[in-house]
Structure 1
């Protein structure tokens, strides 16, 4: 390559030819000069009809009439030739300058990456693990020494079973002798699985705080590098430091980032993620659990993990960290309310029942939203209505006080919501109505009906599921019955009704036609629970037909309930239209009071 730029130009024949001044004058006389360029020391010119396409050069003489003669001969004045750089020097610059620029830019980028990956708040690890590239091979794990996590089991509420499972690990770290005496070995790893916001990371920190041992914390995404082999180097370095500081706890959050099932799709099964996972598997086999190194990991996608990672001998224990039950929600609310000035008469059980399905993080947010509402109303403490409003903010968003809604739309929404509530009240297996409102919310709802279970419910019967669908259809039925028209306000109801009806047929075995047959599988149960059919196209068609028939049946029965109670529907909708928000007690009082009978006059 270098010969092309340096050697060959030396042998190329130049197109510049030097002549004497007399030849130049003869060409002027013969009118053969095409273009001429006069410089301080040289004259450059080209000839007309010159097939060689050469440029000629001659010296400058003291000739005052030269310009006039050139002009009379028809010569043109212009740029003919430009002095060029030495060909060897030009080749050297054109070849080496880009390389120098590329090297300088690469060095600058490399230094920036070193700074970003070696911050002061991260643990400094051995230089040998970085392959001579500074911090690129270091694990970046944050290390809390002793009880610096600041968390214990007293800071965790609503996860009693998980704490009980982890208490054994704490006891082993504090009293390893009694386990060695009987020959028991501590599990090498424990996998915390559950939905987002349930306290998996908090539990891991609490274990370290209870045991009083160093706590290494790192996210799975921090192992993923753009340089091949760097993720594996970080894994090696992390476990090396863990052995040096044993007994200790190593916590890998979102381990599914590096622990996904290997499918061999990336670079013949040897991509960066798989190298990192292979190194993690090797390190887990290589350390002795009796030395006091405990590996904890958290994920909300356990189904995506590689089986080699979850087998006994690696992650021996799988600890569920599920959504809290009623007692757990009440305990979490009280725990977060300790730091908030609350009124003494707050009933946390009511708030817990109204927040069914909420995670620990959402419950903490409810307490904080309640405190913000109290400050907004210029009060010194949080009261019951603040927390109830906070639940609505988390579920449906803030009130849209400036929303402009026509009287007709407000009336339609009133009948729609009373339709839900009236069907729910007339069904035997549904939760009591707690609140009805037609105040628009920022998350898109023009109104909603809140139902609150009196007790914790773990099972769903076929009758209860069907009546839930009836309640979902109640709003649309009220629109049809009163206005002889339908609106887009039932979009969410339709979605929920279809989802439940389909689940009854494909997963819950509540269909006479298909019986106890699983026709659908749930993917990512902790992240939305997306489903995929596991049946033929013909069966899928039958499922669609059965779903439509089930929803239509629920719709027809809900419509009949509203038609039978049409007077109460009018009375309740008018009351809601005027008040905008009514409680469940007000709703039930109007529903159960005797209908007023018009006065009659006797005629003789």
Structure 2
């Protein structure tokens, strides 16, 4: 144990001992004054001449006395010595006259009166204890404690930060190139100043969560070799007025002292939210913090060689003053990685993981469209956990497959009891999605169909994209709606009723149809006009002045057009499933028997190349199951 820790433990023990001593002393004093004998009772003994011996300590008021005919001594603390002496002034004379053969023994201990000292001890100990507690509170807070460091920036320790370089960042080549220039400027500023070039004062990293914005910032810190000051946007916000602005000033002062330096503000939307969006004074502190940040980045004072890098996934709510040139000059969009980027990311995260011979990184990259870097890292980590759980020495393809589905929808719930009727409905529901997609030209290939519950989904039809298309055509969106309605159409055609299982499908289909009409201009009847806005969420202060940019008559036309798109897609889906009813029955029965089917077997089944024995699976939907309750008489 280090001397510093020993010193801390000894100090804590000393404080505890002092506290216990104070409590014991105060308790003893209270107990001594809480004796059962009262002063009037003691004086009555003297009035009745019953006391044959007594001894009084004039300093403390402790009285020891013995009654006639008794040998045991009694003790009492006199409240006031002077009053007691006055009450017993003639007692010796009276007692000796009545009992001449038994003279009274009486002693007064004349010591210096120290009662004031005894009463002062608890006060002194309490003051000492209070000072000790205050000292340790301030010591634990560091330096002068949080009471004197509210205005200081809560900087993360550079030593404890995870190190990274540009080699650790994969799938973001253009983004890295933009940041390489900044690193190079910090290392060789003369090369740029000779050409009259100025480094961007601020770089804003934009993009969805998990795409690697913070990793890029850490890589800049690792490559630059200059002081790096990381802080979170929420660290500026406190309950005390003026603290946020003070912390901003302190942050930039520290950075200027160590220039050239980099300041990294993670989740800047916590402090950079649009001003004027609040009601009353509730947001004034945050706005003052933002004002100070704006001044520090581009105000009257010089701020050369201090570069601010910030990350956010909410550019839409940032104040426009932050985004203008001179503050965040360069805005880098860190989006979802393409297939090449996903392959590179998987290679980075698979570096220290043993992969089996059947694992194909390129195939995994193709089937994980829409995954972020964090998602891909999670997939490989879950696969490694699955391999370890099954006592394998390497990660195999089945582990990757299961980990991917686990990341998308959660783990399988095989132990959950599902009725035969629910299984039947789910099988035809998922078969409807799969068969409809298979017969639509623009839809992606079916990767897996399962009726095993995952998360909130009773079953799933998973698709495998072949390309990373950035644009979506009107035909593809229409066919996507048809595919989404496949489950409900299948229930209507092949079961005796429709169920709630298609609620999410209908919600997604309706949302897609509404975007086709109001956002993408795909409706000839409504026209190539955008109705509404992308940001429909409530934003206090703005929403009160927000009005729709279309009339009620147009709103009715939009609703009619959305419904027409859905109705037409529903009719087309019914026709597809009716035309391929034989495939529907085969696929649904296959799922009822084997619970899942992969993409290759699905293709073979659709092409009549897969022969399976499903004669033992019933054609009719099972009836509702009645639950027999044991011991119902107790209810």
What is the TM-score when the length of structure 2 is the normalising length?
A: 0.71
Whole-angstrom distance in 1 between the partners of 2:387 and 2:283: 57
SS in 1 for 2:262: strand
Match of 1:135 in 2: 149
Deviation at 1:498, TM superposition (A): 1.1
Q: Are the structure 2 counterparts of residues 388 and 594 from structure 1 closer, same or farther at C-alpha, using a change threshold of 3 Å?
A: closer
Whole-angstrom distance in 1 between the partners of 2:354 and 2:527: 54
Whole-angstrom distance in 1 between the partners of 2:334 and 2:133: 42
1:153 aligns to 2:166 (yes or no): yes
Which of 532, 536, 550 is the aligned partner of 1:520?
532
Asked if structure 2 preserves the Cα contact closer than 8 Å seen for 1:301 and 1:524, the reply is no
Match of 2:475 in 1: 463
SS in 2 for 1:514: coil
Whole-angstrom distance in 2 between the partners of 1:499 and 1:108: 64
Which of 604, 618, 626 is the aligned partner of 1:589?
604
Asked if structure 1 preserves the Cα contact closer than 8 Å seen for 2:449 and 2:597, the reply is yes
Whole-angstrom distance in 1 between the partners of 2:397 and 2:297: 50
1:174 aligns to 2:174 (yes or no): no
Whole-angstrom distance in 1 between the partners of 2:243 and 2:133: 17
The answer to which of 168-177 and 285-294 deviates more is: 285-294
SS in 1 for 2:395: coil
Unpaired runs of at least 5, structure 2 = 1-38, 42-46, 49-126, 538-545, 612-635
Match of 2:552 in 1: 537
Asked if structure 1 preserves the Cα contact closer than 8 Å seen for 2:256 and 2:303, the reply is no
Match of 1:299 in 2: 312
Q: How do 1:187-586 and structure 2 match up within 5 A? A: 187-263=200-276, 265=278, 271-286=284-299, 291-441=304-454, 443-523=455-535, 534-586=549-601
SS in 2 for 1:520: coil
- The CA deviation string for residues 157-195 of structure 1, in whole angstroms up to 9 with x for no partner, is 111121111111011111100111111111100011111
Deviation at 1:564, TM superposition (A): 1.0
- The CA deviation string for residues 428-462 of structure 1, in whole angstroms up to 9 with x for no partner, is 11101111111111x11111111111121111111
Whole-angstrom distance in 2 between the partners of 1:219 and 1:330: 31
Whole-angstrom distance in 2 between the partners of 1:183 and 1:485: 75
- The CA deviation string for residues 173-226 of structure 1, in whole angstroms up to 9 with x for no partner, is 111001111111111000111111111111011011111111110001000011
Asked if structure 1 preserves the Cα contact closer than 8 Å seen for 2:241 and 2:285, the reply is yes
Whole-angstrom distance in 2 between the partners of 1:393 and 1:160: 29
Asked if structure 2 preserves the Cα contact closer than 8 Å seen for 1:114 and 1:136, the reply is no
The answer to which of 329-338 and 514-523 deviates more is: 514-523
The answer to which of 251-260 and 584-593 deviates more is: 584-593
Asked if structure 2 preserves the Cα contact closer than 8 Å seen for 1:521 and 1:532, the reply is no
The answer to which of 538-547 and 167-176 deviates more is: 538-547
- The CA deviation string for residues 67-91 of structure 1, in whole angstroms up to 9 with x for no partner, is xxxxxxxxxxxxxxxxxxxxxxxxx
Match of 2:104 in 1: none
- The CA deviation string for residues 271-322 of structure 1, in whole angstroms up to 9 with x for no partner, is 2111111111111125888842111001111111111111111111111011
Whole-angstrom distance in 1 between the partners of 2:603 and 2:249: 66
Deviation at 1:107, TM superposition (A): 10
SS in 2 for 1:142: coil
- The CA deviation string for residues 393-450 of structure 1, in whole angstroms up to 9 with x for no partner, is 0111101121111222212111111111101111111101111111111x11111111
Whole-angstrom distance in 2 between the partners of 1:472 and 1:109: 66
- The CA deviation string for residues 535-561 of structure 1, in whole angstroms up to 9 with x for no partner, is 333322222222122111111101111
The answer to which of 512-521 and 375-384 deviates more is: 512-521
- The CA deviation string for residues 101-160 of structure 1, in whole angstroms up to 9 with x for no partner, is xx99x9999989867765xxxxx8xx8xx9x94221110111427x97521111011111
Deviation at 1:328, TM superposition (A): 1.1
Match of 1:21 in 2: none
Whole-angstrom distance in 1 between the partners of 2:139 and 2:484: 56
The answer to which of 285-294 and 556-565 deviates more is: 285-294
Aligned length: 486
Q: Are the structure 2 counterparts of residues 115 and 553 from structure 1 closer, same or farther at C-alpha, using a change threshold of 3 Å?
A: farther
Whole-angstrom distance in 2 between the partners of 1:388 and 1:465: 28
Whole-angstrom distance in 2 between the partners of 1:468 and 1:270: 44
Asked if structure 2 preserves the Cα contact closer than 8 Å seen for 1:520 and 1:532, the reply is no
Q: Are the structure 2 counterparts of residues 304 and 405 from structure 1 closer, same or farther at C-alpha, using a change threshold of 3 Å?
A: same
The answer to which of 345-354 and 420-429 deviates more is: 345-354
Deviation at 1:338, TM superposition (A): 0.7
Q: Are the structure 2 counterparts of residues 304 and 264 from structure 1 closer, same or farther at C-alpha, using a change threshold of 3 Å?
A: closer
Whole-angstrom distance in 1 between the partners of 2:482 and 2:136: 61
Asked if structure 2 preserves the Cα contact closer than 8 Å seen for 1:419 and 1:569, the reply is yes
Whole-angstrom distance in 2 between the partners of 1:424 and 1:151: 43
Asked if structure 2 preserves the Cα contact closer than 8 Å seen for 1:249 and 1:295, the reply is yes
Whole-angstrom distance in 2 between the partners of 1:482 and 1:264: 53
Q: Are the structure 2 counterparts of residues 111 and 166 from structure 1 closer, same or farther at C-alpha, using a change threshold of 3 Å?
A: farther
Q: What's the Cα RMSD here? A: 3.2
Whole-angstrom distance in 2 between the partners of 1:182 and 1:288: 24
Deviation at 1:595, TM superposition (A): 11
Whole-angstrom distance in 2 between the partners of 1:568 and 1:269: 62
Q: Are the structure 2 counterparts of residues 223 and 595 from structure 1 closer, same or farther at C-alpha, using a change threshold of 3 Å?
A: closer
Q: Are the structure 2 counterparts of residues 269 and 389 from structure 1 closer, same or farther at C-alpha, using a change threshold of 3 Å?
A: closer
Deviation at 1:499, TM superposition (A): 1.2
Asked if structure 2 preserves the Cα contact closer than 8 Å seen for 1:215 and 1:248, the reply is yes
Q: Are the structure 2 counterparts of residues 322 and 313 from structure 1 closer, same or farther at C-alpha, using a change threshold of 3 Å?
A: same
Asked if structure 2 preserves the Cα contact closer than 8 Å seen for 1:185 and 1:289, the reply is no
What is the TM-score when the length of structure 1 is the normalising length?
A: 0.75
Whole-angstrom distance in 1 between the partners of 2:321 and 2:135: 37
Match of 2:102 in 1: none
- The CA deviation string for residues 509-562 of structure 1, in whole angstroms up to 9 with x for no partner, is 11111221111322299xxxxx99643333222222221221111111011111
Q: Are the structure 2 counterparts of residues 594 and 439 from structure 1 closer, same or farther at C-alpha, using a change threshold of 3 Å?
A: closer
Whole-angstrom distance in 1 between the partners of 2:302 and 2:179: 15
